[in-house]
Each structure stands twice: as structure tokens, then as C-alpha cells.
């Protein structure tokens, strides 16, 4: 077999890896499936230091019970155990997983979609495989296949993607938003470098507000606050969703405008994908 013929079979490797991943998932042998999954509860909420990095999130202490031993563990988390927490209050429940017998190695999982079944890696592999197949078809058979392939992928992605559902769900939650006073108690600071080596300084205010039910909520606001570097001590109004305290905004009108813009972009991308498919089919 020649080198060119071997290169034609490049798809075998990602297809095999995806099949292996799905097989392990069906057999419940992925690390996520073999781990212990429990529900943890926040019992203590700290505050990021003023001027510190936002990467660790809000420091909290979580409590969970190991179903194997029956022991209860109270362990701190400041971004070192899984996902960092941007919204915290005493009593908030979180998904936690850890290797059997090692609760000290717990990981907070904020988005369990796909991860609990071990499907994240194989799904990503399939996505890369499909993109590769479209590129391969384009090189082998010409640009009409690029229009067909990428148009189909774009249409499928926008139609089945989670962005549209997330925006609509957030809009629905904020429809019953409650306005309460809030205060900026700290401002985090992170320094990045752009492609030219220039420094970019990013600030994220830490905001505290109390719900009408008396729950004190601490949030790390990554956007939505004007002039964040000078916001320490600023009093403002927060609109929060009573059914989900992780959904909040300092500007309800701007939030709705941004969500409408996001939906508009998704619709435009879907139309572009359909148009590409039609154009590709016509030019074949």
C-alpha cells in the first residue's frame, strides 16, 4: 500500500477512538462513570481578595457524604477541585465526583451534560472527524462539497446546539426577576498578553446581595459592570431569578438586548448553513 493510500485512511484513527469511547461509555467503564457521584452542599462562603486573580472563583466549603463509608466530609474548594464557582450561597447544592475511596480528590462539576456518561471526549472526536471528512471531500471533489458539508454541519450545530436553548431559558427565568440592592466588595485583577506581547488587564467585580428570602449571595461578575476597575464599594441594583440564583444581571434591559442579539446571530448562521447546502446541491 502506497503512502497516498495510507493517507486516504486518516479517518480510521479518529473513528476508532470515537467508537472506543462510545463502547467504554456503554460498558460504564469511563473514569466519570466509575467515579462516585454525590450531591454536595455549600456550608461556608468566603470572599476573593481584592486584587487577586478571578481564576479560583469564590472560595467555599462543601459538605457531602460518602455513600460507601457513610462518613460526612467538609472540604474547602477554591478552584483547585474541578470547576470554579462564580455564584455561591450557603445551602447551594452542587454535583461532585471523586474516585472510589478518595473523597479528598473530589471535583465540582457544574455542567454534568455528557460528562456523567463519559461522552464528552467521543463527542468531540466525532465533531473533529466530521470536519475532517468535509475538508477531505472538498480537496478530493471540489468546492460544492465544501458548501454541502460545512452548510450541513453549521445547520445541524445551530439547530441542535445548546446556545439557543440556554438563551431562551435565561430569558424565561429573568421574566420574573426581582430587583434588590447590591454592593461591590472586591475587584479581582488578571493580566494577560495579546499576540503582540502587550499586557491586557481584566477586572471582575465581586458582588454581594441578599434575596427577599434572606439568602446572602456572592457572585463573581465577569461582565455587565461599567468601569469595573473602579467599582470597589459601588452600590448597585441586581436583578435575580427567584427560581435560579445563578441567573442575575445588573442591567435587565441590556441583558434582554444582548439575548435578542444572540438569538439573531444564531438564526443568521442557520440561514447561512441552509443557503450553503442549497448552493452546494445546485452546483454539483
Give the pLDDT band of residue 193 (cuts 50, 70, 90). confident
> How many other CB atoms are found less than 10 A from the CB of residue 195?
5
The answer to whether 73 and 64 are in contact (CB under 8 A) is yes
CA gap 10, 205 in Å, rounded:
48
Query: ∠ CA 224-230-235 to the nearest 5 degrees?
Result: 65
> What is residue 38's three-state secondary structure?
strand
- Summarize the confidence of residues 171-199 as an average pLDDT: 91
State the pLDDT at residue 1.
Answer: 55
CA-wise closest residue to 184 among 155, 148, 209: 209
The answer to whether 155 and 277 are in contact (CB under 8 A) is yes
State the pLDDT at residue 160.
Answer: 81
CA gap 186, 49 in Å, rounded:
7
The mean pLDDT value of the chain amounts to: 91
The answer to whether 68 and 100 are in contact (CB under 8 A) is yes
CA gap 99, 89 in Å, rounded:
26
CA gap 59, 84 in Å, rounded:
9
The answer to whether 88 and 62 are in contact (CB under 8 A) is no
3 pLDDT exceeds 60?
A: no
Beta bridge partners of 181: 237
CA gap 57, 204 in Å, rounded:
10
What pTM value is reported for the model?
A: 0.85
DSSP one-letter code for 46? -
**Residue whose entry in the numeric block shows the C-alpha cell 441578599:** 210
196 pLDDT exceeds 90?
A: no
CA gap 71, 239 in Å, rounded:
39
Our measurement of the distance from residue 179's CA atom to the centroid of its chain's CA atoms, rounded to an integer in Å, reads 26
The answer to whether 106 and 82 are in contact (CB under 8 A) is yes
> Which tens digits make up the pLDDT trace of 103-115?
989 999 998 877 8
> Which tens digits make up the pLDDT trace of 35-75?
999 999 999 999 999 999 999 999 999 999 999 899 999 99
> How many other CB atoms are found less than 10 A from the CB of residue 256?
15
DSSP letters spanning 236-264: EEEEEETTEEEEEES-HHHHHHHHHHHHH
> Which tens digits make up the pLDDT trace of 240-259?
999 999 999 999 999 999 98
How, if at all, do strands 60-65 and 36-45 pair?
A: antiparallel
Which is more confidently placed, 9 or 27? 27
State the pLDDT at residue 36.
Answer: 95
- Summarize the confidence of residues 12-21 as an average pLDDT: 92
- Summarize the confidence of residues 149-174 as an average pLDDT: 89
Query: ∠ CA 104-109-113 to the nearest 5 degrees?
Result: 145
CA gap 230, 228 in Å, rounded:
5
184 pLDDT exceeds 90?
A: yes
CA-wise closest residue to 152 among 13, 273, 27, 1: 273
- Summarize the confidence of residues 208-221 as an average pLDDT: 96
CA gap 76, 63 in Å, rounded:
9
Which is more confidently placed, 7 or 230? 230
% the chain with pLDDT above 70: 98
Amino acid at each position: 500500500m502506497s503512502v497516498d493510500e495510507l493517507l486516504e485512511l486518516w479517518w480510521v484513527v479518529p473513528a476508532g477512538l470515537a467508537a472506543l469511547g462510545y463502547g467504554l461509555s456503554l460498558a460504564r467503564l469511563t473514569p466519570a462513570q466509575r467515579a462516585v457521584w454525590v450531591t454536595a452542599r455549600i456550608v461556608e462562603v468566603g470572599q476573593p481578595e481584592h486584587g487577586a486573580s478571578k481564576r479560583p472563583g469564590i472560595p467555599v466549603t462543601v459538605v457531602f457524604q460518602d455513600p460507601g463509608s457513610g462518613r460526612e466530609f467538609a472540604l474547602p474548594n477554591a478552584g483547585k477541585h474541578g470547576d470554579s464557582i462564580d455564584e455561591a450561597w450557603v445551602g447551594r447544592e452542587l454535583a461532585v465526583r471523586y474516585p472510589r475511596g478518595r473523597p479528598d480528590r473530589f471535583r465540582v462539576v457544574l455542567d454534568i451534560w455528557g460528562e456523567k456518561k463519559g461522552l464528552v471526549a467521543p463527542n468531540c472526536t466525532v465533531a473533529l472527524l466530521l470536519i475532517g471528512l468535509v475538508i477531505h471531500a472538498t480537496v478530493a471533489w471540489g468546492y460544492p462539497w465544501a458548501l454541502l458539508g460545512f452548510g450541513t454541519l453549521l445547520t445541524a450545530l445551530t439547530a441542535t446546539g445548546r446556545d439557543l436553548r440556554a438563551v431562551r431559558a435565561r430569558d424565561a427565568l429573568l421574566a420574573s426577576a426581582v430587583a434588590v440592592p447590591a454592593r461591590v466588595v472586591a475587584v479581582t485583577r488578571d493580566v494577560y498578553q495579546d499576540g503582540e506581547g502587550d499586557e491586557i488587564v481584566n477586572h471582575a467585580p465581586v458582588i454581594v446581595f441578599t434575596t427577599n428570602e434572606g439568602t446572602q449571595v456572592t457572585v463573581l461578575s465577569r461582565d455587565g459592570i461599567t468601569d469595573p476597575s473602579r467599582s470597589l464599594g459601588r452600590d448597585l441594583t441586581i436583578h435575580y431569578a427567584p427560581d435560579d440564583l445563578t441567573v442575575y444581571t445588573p442591567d435587565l434591559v441590556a441583558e434582554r438586548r444582548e439575548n435578542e442579539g444572540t438569538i439573531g446571530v444564531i438564526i443568521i448562521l442557520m440561514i447561512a448553513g441552509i443557503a450553503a447546502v442549497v448552493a452546494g446541491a445546485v452546483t454539483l
